[in-house]
């Protein structure tokens, strides 16, 4: 029995599409340990004390202020949460690092500086550096003694990062690489002591990464960018003019830079997904408070059904994002632990663990950033005219949120990437997607079963809905792959439709499993709020899957084949209507009484 359980828990990235996950297999945020809760509270105290009272100073880019905040975060250990103790960090696991990113998400511009330093600025050295490099640099970065930035993007190399033109040439004496080129949109550039720089050596096809100290010389910068949002974060263009970098500061091996960039971006994507949660909760709480305080027609606007629907939707989508993000984070942690137990070096295991769940990382980046955008937009609407005023907090939240859909690869790139990864793993035999897809295709032309499944267990009906949603995406993906073959990669609109179907399925399932697990601990009566949020989210997910699937089918199917597939979509996206009005009112009433985010 134990062996069977262990085997069940070894889920692979993307496998949720073809395998039913059980509630006990996932991690839920209600399971944080006391130590993790203490770290989260320390982080929240830092936000409350150092960030919230000083947002104006931060947004006006007061000289030295952001750097001083980073110093204070370093003193509290917040810059080294996931860094091993051997290099001055706290040595906590991946999901704990996500939890801290979650809390930091309410920190506005500071969360950008924090994320750039602890993520893309530090992790390349931690995961790819030599022992000497880690001892020399990671120990300084973990404490905040040094700050880091990441120089990848160029004027003509954004999503296509490997097309960068920055060059590195070995000096005549063989002791240095001489770097020349231009980088742009570099977060933390204004105060960073260390730069992770990507360049091509001579005529190499692929990038190589270098650790560059600011004191090496040959580095100049433009003035700070004036941005739409995250105004308090440092963002500059960086120019390298015969910058001499010691040969021992090459990071990893020659031409391995692109692989480093891709793997670090995977981490950044899932961290961004957790990083929006704190901001979502903060905006939802502020909107609830304003709705309670604001009077129109002699009553608080929180008594209006239209406003209550907005508040409830904020809570529902945040709950769903949180459920899916930490499910994925724990899957990564479990994979890391498994690889280490099998004898793999810790840093290699961390990279492989994240890489295994790169599909989920992309899913959550897209979903989380779009939920944040939705919530700040609704927050502005609840505030009405005041939402458009810089005297109220919504204007800043609205502006700051917009970058999340561009960070770590645009959402369009991530949508196509996640579908591409599923198909590639299927072609390699790593994911048995084609077998289930063929079974669904066969089911379309067979007589439907009229047998009634057992719906007596909690969420049994909802689980049947999820099973059918998975059949819907397998049907569309399977037929699209059969129709286009390798050219499916060029059908970006269809890939986007498929991605939307996959995203909704993963998030809806994660939300349902979280609530099911919570009911097992607390009982149904204590989980009415979570149950309501789960039911509404699933109902809306069904509509979205139906819409995306029908749109995709119409792009490539014709005649009788189209009719059969559209009938299949109708069959696979069928859910009995639910009273979403009353469920949303239940959620909103709880928020209004609490005057804050509901849980």
Exposure string for 137-166, b = 16+ CB within 10 A, e = fewer: bbbbbbbbebbbbbbbbbeebbeebeebeb
Q: What are phi and psi of 204, to 5 degrees?
A: -60, 150
- Within 13 Å, how many C-alpha atoms sit on residue 505's CB side? 32
pLDDT digits (tens, 9 = 90+) for 50-73: 999 999 999 999 999 999 999 999
What pLDDT was estimated at residue 6? 42
Does residue 379 have a pLDDT over 90?
yes
Is 1.20.140.10 the CATH classification of the domain at 423-447+458-594?
yes
- CATH numeric code, 29-146: 1.10.540.10
The third-level CATH classification (topology) of the domain covering 258-412 is Butyryl-CoA Dehydrogenase, subunit A; domain 3 (1.20.140)
Q: What is the mean pLDDT of residues 343-358?
A: 96
CATH topology of domain 149-255: Butyryl-CoA Dehydrogenase, subunit A; domain 2 (2.40.110)
Mean pLDDT of 40-46: 97
Residue 247 pLDDT level (bands cut at 50, 70, 90): very high
Rounded alpha-carbon distances, angstroms, from residue 188 to 25, 147, 262? 39, 8, 20
Q: How many CA atoms lie within 13 A of 216 on its CB side?
A: 26
Q: What is the pLDDT of residue 4?
A: 39
27 φ, ψ to 5°?
-90, 140
Q: Poorest-confidence range of 7-11, 110-114, 415-419, 461-465?
A: 7-11
Closest residue by Cα to residue 178 from 255, 246, 260, 256: 246
Confidence (pLDDT) at 2: 37
Bridge partner residues of 151 (DSSP)? 197
In angstroms, the Cα distances linking 430 to 103, 151, 327, 364, 572 are 35, 34, 21, 21, 26
Q: For residue 9, what pLDDT band results from cuts at 50, 70 and 90?
A: low
Tell me if 149-255 shares its fold with 258-412: no
pLDDT score at 447: 75
Instruction: Please state, for a pLDDT cut of 90, what percent of the chain lies above it.
Output: 95
pLDDT value for 3? 40
Judged against a pLDDT cut of 80, whether residue 381 lies above it is answered with yes
Reported as a pLDDT band with limits 50, 70 and 90, residue 453 is confident
> How far does Cα 118 stand from its chain's mean position?
16
> Pick from 226, 210, 227, 228: which is nearest to 218 by CA?
210
Positive/negative CA dihedral, 443, 445, 451, 452: positive
Confidence of residue 384 (pLDDT cuts 50, 70, 90): very high
Domain range annotation of the chain: 29-146, 149-255, 258-412, 423-447+458-594
Decide if 408 is catalytic. Answer: yes
The pLDDT of residue 457 is 78
Distance between CA atoms of residues 65 and 378, nearest Å: 31
Instruction: Find the range with the poorest average confidence among 85-94, 145-154, 157-166, 330-339.
Output: 157-166
pLDDT of residue 10: 76
- The mean pLDDT of the chain is 95
Tens digits of residue pLDDT in 459-496: 999 999 999 999 999 999 999 999 999 999 999 999 99
Averaged pLDDT for residues 571-592 = 97
Binned at pLDDT 50, 70 and 90, residue 445 comes out as confident
**The one catalytic residue among 408, 504, 509, 516:** 408
């Amino acid at each position: 029995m134990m062996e069977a359980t262990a085997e069940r828990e070894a889920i692979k990235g993307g496998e949720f599409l073809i395998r039913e996950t059980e509630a006990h297999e996932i991690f839920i945020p209600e399971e944080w340990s006391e130590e993790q809760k203490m770290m989260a509270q320390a982080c929240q105290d830092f936000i409350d004390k150092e960030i919230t009272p000083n947002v104006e100073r931060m947004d006006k880019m007061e000289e030295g202020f952001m750097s001083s905040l980073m110093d204070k975060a370093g003193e509290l250990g917040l810059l080294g949460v996931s860094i091993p103790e051997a290099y001055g960090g706290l040595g906590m696991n991946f999901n704990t690092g996500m939890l801290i990113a979650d809390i930091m998400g309410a920190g506005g511009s500071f969360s950008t500086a924090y994320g750039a330093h602890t993520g893309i600025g530090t992790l390349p050295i931690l995961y790819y550096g030599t022992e000497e490099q880690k001892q020399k640099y990671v120990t300084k970065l973990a404490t905040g003694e040094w700050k880091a930035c990441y120089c990848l993007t160029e004027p003509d190399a954004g999503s296509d990062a490997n097309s960068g033109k920055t060059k590195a040439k070995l000096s005549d004496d063989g002791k240095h690489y001489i770097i020349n080129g231009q980088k742009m949109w570099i977060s933390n550039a204004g105060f960073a002591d260390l730069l992770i720089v990507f360049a091509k050596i001579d005529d190499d096809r692929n990038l190589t990464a270098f650790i560059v100290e600011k004191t090496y010389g040959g580095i100049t910068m433009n003035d700070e960018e004036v941005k739409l949002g995250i105004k308090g974060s440092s963002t500059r263009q960086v120019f390298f003019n015969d910058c001499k970098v010691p040969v021992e500061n090459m990071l990893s091996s020659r031409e391995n830079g692109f692989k480093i960039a891709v793997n670090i971006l995977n981490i950044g994507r899932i961290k961004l997904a957790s990083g929006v949660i704190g901001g979502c909760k903060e905006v939802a709480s502020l909107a609830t408070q304003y709705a309670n305080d604001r009077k129109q027609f002699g009553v608080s606007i929180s008594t209006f059904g239209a406003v209550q629907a907005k508040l409830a939707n904020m809570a529902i989508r945040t709950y769903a994002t949180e459920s899916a993000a930490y499910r994925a984070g724990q899957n990564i942690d479990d994979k890391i632990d498994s690889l280490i137990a099998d004898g793999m070096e810790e840093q290699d295991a961390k990279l492989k663990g994240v890489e295994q769940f790169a599909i989920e990382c992309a899913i959550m980046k897209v979903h989380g950033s779009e939920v944040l955008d939705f919530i700040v937009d609704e927050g502005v609407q609840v505030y009405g005219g005041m939402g458009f005023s810089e005297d109220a907090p919504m204007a800043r939240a609205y502006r700051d949120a917009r970058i999340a859909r561009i960070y770590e690869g645009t959402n369009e790139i991530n949508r196509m990437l996640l579908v591409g990864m599923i198909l590639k793993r299927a072609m390699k035999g790593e994911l048995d997607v084609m077998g289930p897809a063929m079974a669904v295709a066969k089911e379309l032309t067979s007589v439907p079963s009229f047998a009634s499944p057992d719906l007596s267990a909690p969420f049994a009906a909802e689980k049947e809905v999820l099973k059918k949603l998975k059949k819907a995406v397998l049907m569309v993906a399977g037929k699209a792959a059969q129709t286009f073959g390798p050219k499916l990669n060029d059908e970006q609109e269809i890939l986007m439709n498929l991605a939307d179907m996959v995203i909704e399925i993963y998030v809806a399932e994660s939300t349902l499993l979280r609530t099911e697990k919570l009911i097992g601990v607390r009982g149904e009566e204590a989980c009415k709020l979570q149950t309501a949020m789960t039911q509404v989210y699933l109902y809306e997910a069904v509509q979205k899957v139906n819409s995306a699937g029908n749109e995709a089918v119409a792009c490539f199917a014709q005649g009788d084949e189209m009719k059969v597939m559209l009938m299949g979509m109708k069959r696979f996206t069928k859910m009995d209507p639910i009273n979403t009005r009353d469920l949303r009112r239940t959620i909103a009433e709880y928020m209004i009484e609490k005057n804050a985010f509901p849980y």
